[in-house]
């Protein structure tokens, strides 16, 4: 049966070759002044070549006084047209419809005094916005209109107005952020006026035939915020004034997990909102929200819940997502695991990186090319670094042997996937294993090699990816039977009692806490720092705080473990006062140190080139391990 995903669709003078949309996602690749960089072009070009039908270029700022987080594209002056034109020209040969999202940050600006419809701060500790006067509102309307004109001059097929996620247009729409009593507030008529004036202005200046897409938050999920019933009415009225299509997202700054859903959110979690809006309009509706599984995305279309589907982070993870669907190669799609580290980097004013795709941000610079000379490469260790190195090396044509001392491949990926909210990581493990099988990597499990045995295989190169081992400090009582290591608990190699003290509130400590809570244990978390969750991306960390608070978990930050005694753990607070914690078990989650397995390979007289990657160099994230494995193998 042919896929509806691959069917063309025509509307508002646009013909889209398939139903796959790349939605706007800020990546931090623009120049500091907001102009288009070569890196921006390479990033979008890779996705255009990958076969998507529509690309909506990211968050382009219409106001010179508005600053977000990190470099962002801008369009408040004619000098930005040429760079944007270069971008469009690079994409057009690939039969892709290209739009540009126009935005004003409103009270979410990070520099100076924010502006907003009402003096309501973004957070309790945030600055109080300056209230826009009617004249200033009309000026901002003109900024959007001018931005749309420049977008058409640059060659874009349409613009998307960002009326979601708590930015300025959404602030006017939402009763939670708009408390005005003039013509721009109060009833829906008033709150919708700002957006309607922008649309009318664009049609007057740019042309009634120029398509305008609007992105809406179907619901905001905050007190007094936009509800689905009200957003349905907004959508109906927008259709009446001639917009071309609607993209249905959700949430605002306070509910970020609805905007950029971590892996604990269900796949297609916003589809029903899109379906509810599609029921009241006849223009095309785009569904969003963890739709990077082909089966889920196709079902949305087959059931008539949307006309197009946005595959956002799925295209970050694999720019050839659409192409692989067309070529019936779904098993080769590199899966997005919704870890949100791409989002986390951008939120810290850094350039986006991807846990599973080492190429991101280095498109056409990092490439997997056939090797000039075929080599026999021995990879020691089958965790994320070793698997990715083996995959890339084999894809380049090398003869690759992979040795793993455990009885299964995956290494620390299995530890990371043990918490209930992180099962998605298994999908990446399965992908890596499929790929090394496809490229005929020779795999030996349950094997520990000695020096002579290794050299007897006559390798040209040895890659050490032997991982890390848990840190166990010289702690009084650490050898008691009631003490377990976090990864042993997560891998079900150790059992614990009902009352558990977890020593260490970093990523592994939070994983084991979530794991044990799901199994009905009473837990306490000890953490030396002022907060738990160090190293966890911000949206998931916020969710974990909420979950632990809801479960009544004591979070003893600025506490350190002093000793463990039978039936209790003894901690010290920041004033060195003893805190006695009765318990049945203590779980140590105190970090990792590099493994020294295969240390003989590092001896000076070892006759074969040896490279180390991943945790055996320095314990880090899955992203670090994958990047090191890919970049090394691409050079061998």
Where is the domain boundary, 590, 608, 624?
A: 590
Where is the domain boundary, 304, 331, 347?
A: 347
* pLDDT tens-place string over residues 116-133: 999 999 888 889 999 999
Confidence at residue 340, expressed as pLDDT on a 0 to 100 scale: 96
Question: End-to-end distance of the chain based on CA atoms, in angstroms?
Answer: 42
In a domain, 368, yes or no: no
In a domain, 115, yes or no: yes
Weakest-pLDDT range from 115-119, 362-366, 522-526: 362-366
566 and 606 part of one domain: no
The contacts of residue 413 (CB under 8 Å, 6+ apart) are 383, 384, 425, 426, 428, 429, 622
Find the domain containing 427 and state its range.
Answer: 376-470+595-635
pLDDT tier for residue 209 given thresholds of 50, 70 and 90: very high
Whether 1 shows a pLDDT value over 80: the answer reads no
426 and 506 part of one domain: no
HSE at residue 507, side-chain half, CA atoms within 13 A, is 18
180 and 325 part of one domain: yes
Question: In the chain, what are the helix, strand and coil shares in percent, each to the nearest 5?
Answer: 35, 20, 45
What letter does residue 486 receive in the DSSP assignment? Answer: H
581 and 599 part of one domain: no
HEC profile of 100-126: EEEECCHHHCCCCCCEECCCCCCCCCC
Mean pLDDT across the stretch 200-213? 98
Is 406 in contact with 466 (CB distance < 8 Å)? no
238 and 159 part of one domain: yes
Query: What percentage of residues in the chain have a pLDDT greater than 70?
Result: 100
In a domain, 477, yes or no: no
In a domain, 5, yes or no: no
Where is the domain boundary, 310, 332, 347?
A: 347
Whether 181 shows a pLDDT value over 70: the answer reads yes
In a domain, 358, yes or no: no
Q: Based on the structure, what is the number of domains in the chain?
A: 3
Q: Of the candidates 634, 205, 129, which has an alpha carbon nearest to the alpha carbon of residue 394?
A: 634
Q: How far apart are CA 163 and CA 271, in angstroms?
A: 18
The token duo for 264 is 């604990």
CATH of the domain at 534: 3.50.50.60
Q: Of the candidates 35, 30, 115, 100, which has an alpha carbon nearest to the alpha carbon of residue 69?
A: 30
Q: How far apart are CA 398 and CA 379, in angstroms?
A: 12
The token duo for 576 is 């060195």
In a domain, 361, yes or no: no
CATH of the domain at 55: 3.20.20.70
420 and 549 part of one domain: no
The residue from 29, 167, 258, 611 that is catalytic is: 167
What's the farthest any 2 CA atoms get from each other in the chain? 84
Q: How far apart are CA 403 and CA 384, in angstroms?
A: 13
In a domain, 9, yes or no: no
495 and 453 part of one domain: no
At residue 31's C-alpha, the angle toward residues 26 and 35, to 5°, is: 90
In a domain, 359, yes or no: no
125 and 234 part of one domain: yes
341 is catalytic: no
519 and 437 part of one domain: no
Q: Is the pTM of this model over 0.85?
A: yes
Average pLDDT, the chain: 96
310 and 385 part of one domain: no
CATH of the domain at 433: 3.40.50.720
* pLDDT tens-place string over residues 473-517: 999 999 999 999 999 999 999 999 999 999 999 999 999 999 999
Mean pLDDT across the stretch 423-431? 98
115 and 200 part of one domain: yes
Confidence at residue 126, expressed as pLDDT on a 0 to 100 scale: 87
325 and 399 part of one domain: no
Q: How far apart are CA 101 and CA 419, in angstroms?
A: 37
Whether 406 shows a pLDDT value over 70: the answer reads yes
């Amino acid at each position: 049966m042919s896929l509806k995903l691959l069917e063309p669709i025509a509307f508002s003078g646009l013909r889209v070759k398939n139903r796959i949309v790349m939605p706007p996602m800020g990546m931090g690749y623009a120049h500091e002044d907001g102009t288009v960089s070569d890196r921006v072009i390479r990033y979008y070009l890779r996705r255009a070549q990958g076969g998507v039908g529509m690309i909506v270029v990211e968050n382009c700022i219409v106001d010179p006084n508005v600053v977000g987080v990190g470099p962002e594209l801008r369009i408040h002056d004619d000098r930005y047209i040429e760079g944007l034109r270069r971008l469009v020209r690079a994409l057009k040969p690939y039969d892709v419809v290209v739009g540009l999202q126009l935005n004003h940050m409103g009270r979410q600006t990070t520099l100076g005094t924010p502006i907003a419809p009402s003096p309501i701060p973004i957070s309790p500790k945030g600055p109080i916005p300056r209230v826009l006067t009617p004249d200033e509102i009309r000026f901002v309307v003109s900024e959007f209109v001018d931005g749309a004109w420049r977008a058409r001059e640059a060659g874009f097929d349409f613009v998307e107005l960002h009326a979601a996620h708590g930015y300025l247009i959404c602030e006017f729409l939402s009763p939670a952020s708009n408390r005005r009593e003039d013509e721009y507030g109060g009833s829906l008529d008033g709150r919708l006026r700002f957006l309607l004036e922008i649309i009318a202005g664009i049609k007057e200046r740019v042309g009634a035939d120029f398509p305008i897409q609007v992105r809406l938050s179907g619901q905001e999920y905050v007190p007094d915020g936009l509800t689905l019933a009200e957003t349905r009415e907004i959508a109906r009225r927008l259709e009446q004034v001639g917009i071309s299509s609607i993209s249905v997202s959700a949430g605002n700054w306070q509910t970020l997990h609805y905007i950029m859903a971590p892996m604990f959110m269900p796949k297609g979690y916003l589809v029903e909102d899109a379906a509810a809006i599609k029921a009241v309009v006849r223009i095309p509706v785009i569904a969003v929200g963890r739709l990077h599984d082909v089966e889920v995305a196709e079902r949305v279309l087959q059931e008539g819940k949307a006309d197009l589907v946005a595959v956002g982070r799925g295209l970050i993870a694999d720019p050839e997502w659409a192409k692989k669907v067309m070529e019936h190669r779904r098993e080769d799609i590199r899966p997005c695991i919704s870890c949100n580290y791409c989002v986390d980097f951008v939120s810290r004013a850094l350039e986006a990186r991807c846990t599973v795709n080492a190429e991101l941000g280095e498109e056409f610079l990092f490439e997997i090319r056939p090797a000039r000379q075929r080599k026999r490469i021995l990879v020691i260790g089958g965790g994320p670094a070793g698997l990715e190195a083996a995959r890339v090396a084999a894809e380049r044509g090398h003869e690759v042997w992979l040795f793993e001392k455990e009885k299964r491949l995956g290494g620390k990926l299995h530890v990371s996937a043990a918490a209930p909210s992180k099962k998605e990581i298994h999908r990446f493990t399965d992908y890596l294993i499929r790929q090394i099988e496809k490229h005929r990597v020779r795999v030996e499990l349950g094997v520990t090699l000695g020096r002579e045995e290794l050299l007897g295989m006559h390798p040209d190169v040895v890659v050490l990816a032997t991982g890390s081992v848990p840190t166990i400090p010289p702690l009084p009582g650490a050898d008691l039977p009631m003490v377990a290591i976090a990864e042993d608990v997560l891998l079900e190699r150790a059992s614990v009692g009902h009352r558990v003290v977890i020593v260490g509130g970093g990523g592994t400590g939070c994983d084991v806490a979530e794991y044990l809570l799901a199994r009905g244990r009473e837990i306490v978390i000890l953490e030396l720092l002022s907060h738990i969750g160090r190293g966890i991306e911000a949206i998931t960390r916020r969710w974990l705080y909420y979950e632990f608070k809801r479960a009544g978990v004591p979070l003893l930050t600025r506490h350190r473990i002093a000793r463990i005694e039978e039936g209790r753990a003894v901690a010290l607070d920041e004033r060195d006062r003893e805190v006695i914690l009765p318990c049945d078990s203590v779980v140590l989650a105190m970090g990792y140190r590099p493994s020294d397995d295969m240390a003989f390979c590092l001896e000076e007289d070892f006759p074969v080139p040896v490279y180390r990657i991943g945790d055996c160099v320095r314990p880090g994230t899955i992203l670090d391990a994958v990047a090191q494995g890919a970049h090394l193998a691409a050079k061998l």
